[in-house]
Amino acid sequence: MWYGMWKSNLFEKSSSFDSICGSMDEVFTENNSGLFLIELPTESYYETSLFTIKNLLENGFKGIYVSFQRPAKNIYSWFKQFDIDLDKVKVLDGTNESENKNEALPKNVERIFDKIHKNLQNVKSNKKFVFIDSITTMALINSDSWSESFSNHLIDLKDNVNFEKIIFLVNVSKDLSEKKLVKNISSYADGFFYIGNSKEGYSIEVVKPNVLT
Residues 6 or more apart in contact with residue 49 via CB below 8 angstroms: 40, 131, 133, 171
User: How far apart are alpha carbons 131 and 109 in whole angstroms?
Assistant: 17
Average pLDDT taken over every residue of the chain: 77
Q: Comparing C-alpha atoms, which of 160, 77, 64, 75 is closest to residue 112?
A: 64
Position with higher pLDDT, 1 vs 162: 162
User: How far apart are alpha carbons 190 and 72 in whole angstroms?
Assistant: 28
Element (H, E) at 202: strand 201-212
Residue range 125-133: mean pLDDT, rounded: 90
Residue 19 confidence (pLDDT): 57
Phi, psi of 9 (to 5 degrees): -120, 10
Residue 103 domain-assigned?
A: yes
Residue 128 domain-assigned?
A: yes
Sort residue 71 into left (φ over 0), alpha (ψ -120 to 50) or beta: beta
Which range of residues forms the domain containing residue 174? 6-212
Lowest mean pLDDT among 80-84, 156-160, 186-190, 200-204: 200-204
Residue 178 domain-assigned?
A: yes
* N residues, the chain: 213
pTM: 0.82
pLDDT above 60 (res 58): yes
Q: Give the pLDDT band of residue 51 (cuts 50, 70, 90).
A: confident
The domain total for the chain is 1
Buried/exposed 25-49: b ≥16 CB within 10 Å, e otherwise: eebbeeeebbbbbbbbbeebbeebb
CATH of the domain at 197: 3.40.50.300
User: How far apart are alpha carbons 91 and 108 in whole angstroms?
Assistant: 18
Residue 1 domain-assigned?
A: no
Residue 48 domain-assigned?
A: yes
Residue 151 near residue 185, CB atoms below 8 Å: yes
